[in-house]
Structure 1
Amino acid sequence: MKKKIIFLTLLIMALFICSPILFLISGSFMDTKELTKNIGAVFSNGKGFASWIVSPKYPTLRSYIEILLDTPEFFVVFWNSVKIVFFSIVGQLLVGVPAAWGFARYKFPYKKILFTIYIIVMLMPFQVTMISNYVVLDKLNILDTHLSIILPAIFSTFSVFIMYRFFKNIPESIIESARIDGASEKQIFFKIGIPLGMPGIMSSVILSFLEYWNLIEQPLIFLKSKNLWPLSLYLPNVKIENAGVAFGTSAITLISAIIVFFAGQSYLEQGIASTAVKE
């Protein structure tokens, strides 16, 4: 009986937490008339009451058809997001993986101080570094370009911190055995470090994707041209006339993130499990 109560409680909590997502998905299948009836009060200066239903009475794909067939600017912002996310993650891997390996496996002067600075920078919110970033990007003449978003992302300290923890947990005995067998540092990195640290690398990739796929502040400040905006800034002014399109766009954005999350879920689980490996 106790287990049933716990299960029921957890189920209710899960449904409550997921309710915004359920409302979003159901709203994307409603027509304008039904949306007006449900949320019209939100757009009428607070007159009346808004309501919602779990599933639409007359489901329609009109919103998705309008987005995919009649809204060419949607594909512009979609590919902007793909471009920003792809090059940011590739850059992070090229810079972050060697940096994390160096911090985890080598001793060098001022290592602790430098890594402490990494952590401090990671803990700083974007609002703190916004002005300095803007000044540097302006001096580099790359404001209002996608490079103004990609370049700071490449040197993100967050990905280094994540991968560092996984590289650090690789048993030292494995590294020493490889050195005794005559393996060079380069071979150890590519044939031992990267394979054993893959859960950490993939965890970093997934978390970075979720972060840069949903960027709002950086593109809003660094990108003045709306044709350069990512998908996260699409349809910032929602009206009752385009509410269905807004619901559909949000659903597509959400589904893309969910697909990536579930595709890399096994790597996240392996990464969590690998933290328990002891030498």
Structure 2
Amino acid sequence: MSTSAPPSLGLPAAITRHAILLVTGAFVLVPFVWMVSLSIKPPGEIFRASFSFWPDQFYGIENYTKALTAAPLLQYMLNGVVVCALIVIAQIAVCAPAAYALAKLDFPGKNLMFALVLIALILPHEVLSLPLFILGYQIGILNTYAALIFPFIVSPFGIFLFRQFFKTIPDDVIHAARLDGLSELAIVWRIMVPMAMPAIIAFSIFSVVGHWNSLFWPLIAVRDQNLMPPPLGIMAFKNEEAGNDYGPLMAASTMVVAPLIIAFLSAQKWFVEGLTGGAVK
């Protein structure tokens, strides 16, 4: 006598979860869709009461051309690339050895140091803006690339993320490297960092997105237009060049956001692996 299997009880729950995710994703995407739509519309269609993604008159060439010519947008984006790249390189150079020490070495005050890292994680960076501004003034780095890079060299989040990933690497790997005569720094760069590449990629995405979109600190630290990163440059573009012409402004915003979206979609596999790898242990 054969019995048929009961229907899966998890199917309604799975449908509900996916529906919630789709609705949430739609809400997240609405501002981006709106931004792209406005970037290809003429001024007369931007403030229509009814919304349509595709304009009656395509005005994208004019808006994007004006966005590139009315202000040095490419210079702003180049500044963002330089600043974000140098910050990521400096953060990895500092955070990887610190995380290795907290994960694999024993020394007095280790737990206290890790507690300080956790405390630093909950402090918003804006709290430190005034002392950092005074320090930058005293050492003479304001209105330079150094002013945009120096405050972010040490990342508590980077130390925490790398430490969690390093702790999943077996201690036998470390012991074998020491038996081969490698120093502790050599173990960090030749063993730990290559094995933690997913975590490094995930952290790099977080870092680049955060500093590419940063407005508060650059607004304080630099005044020279040739040093402005993309968000500050777009604000200057709006105030000085575009005025109330929102088509070119939305075109400039679209071009600034596009590299981040492309980079994330290209590295999303390593991004997820890097965030979940440290949760194993």
User: Which band: TM-score by shorter chain?
Assistant: 0.7 to 0.9
Percent identity between the aligned chains?
28
d(CA) in 1 for partners of 2:91, 2:262: 21
Conserved 8 A contact 1:97-1:201: no
Q: C-alpha offsets along residues 178-199 of structure 1, whole Å, 9 cap, x if unaligned?
A: 4345554344333321121111
The amino acid that maps onto 1:216 is L
Question: In the alignment, which residue of structure 2 is the partner of 1:243?
Answer: 246
After superposition, residues 116-131 of structure 1 pair within 5 angstroms as 116-131=115-130
- Are 1:65 and 2:76 matched, yes or no? no
Conserved 8 A contact 2:67-2:249: no
Q: What is the DSSP-based 3-state SS (H/G/I as helix, E as strand, rest coil) of the residue aligned with 1:65?
A: helix
Question: In the alignment, which residue of structure 2 is the partner of 1:24?
Answer: 35
Q: 1:12 to 1:56 in 2, by over 3 A?
A: farther
Q: What is the DSSP-based 3-state SS (H/G/I as helix, E as strand, rest coil) of the residue aligned with 2:270?
A: helix
- Are 1:189 and 2:192 matched, yes or no? no
d(CA) in 1 for partners of 2:245, 2:187: 55
- Are 1:94 and 2:67 matched, yes or no? no
Q: C-alpha offsets along residues 152-177 of structure 1, whole Å, 9 cap, x if unaligned?
A: 11122222222111112112233234
Question: In the alignment, which residue of structure 1 is the partner of 2:165?
Answer: 166
d(CA) in 1 for partners of 2:210, 2:82: 14
Q: TM-score, normalised by structure 1?
A: 0.85
Q: 1:28 to 1:96 in 2, by over 3 A?
A: same
Question: Residue 211 of structure 1: CA displacement?
Answer: 0.5
Q: When the two structures are aligned, how many residues end up with a matched partner?
A: 265
Question: In the alignment, which residue of structure 2 is the partner of 1:270?
Answer: 273
Q: Structure 1 regions of 5+ residues with no counterpart?
A: 39-49
Q: Structure 2 regions of 5+ residues with no counterpart?
A: 1-10
RMSD: 2.3
Question: Residue 151 of structure 1: CA displacement?
Answer: 0.7
d(CA) in 1 for partners of 2:92, 2:26: 37
Q: TM-score, normalised by structure 2?
A: 0.85
Q: What is the DSSP-based 3-state SS (H/G/I as helix, E as strand, rest coil) of the residue aligned with 2:72?
A: helix
d(CA) in 2 for partners of 1:98, 1:246: 43
Question: Residue 246 of structure 1: CA displacement?
Answer: 0.9
> Which of 238, 251, 255 in structure 1 is aligned with 2:258?
255
Q: C-alpha offsets along residues 58-110 of structure 1, whole Å, 9 cap, x if unaligned?
A: 33322112223x23511221212112111111111222222211221111111
d(CA) in 2 for partners of 1:59, 1:144: 40
d(CA) in 1 for partners of 2:95, 2:45: 49
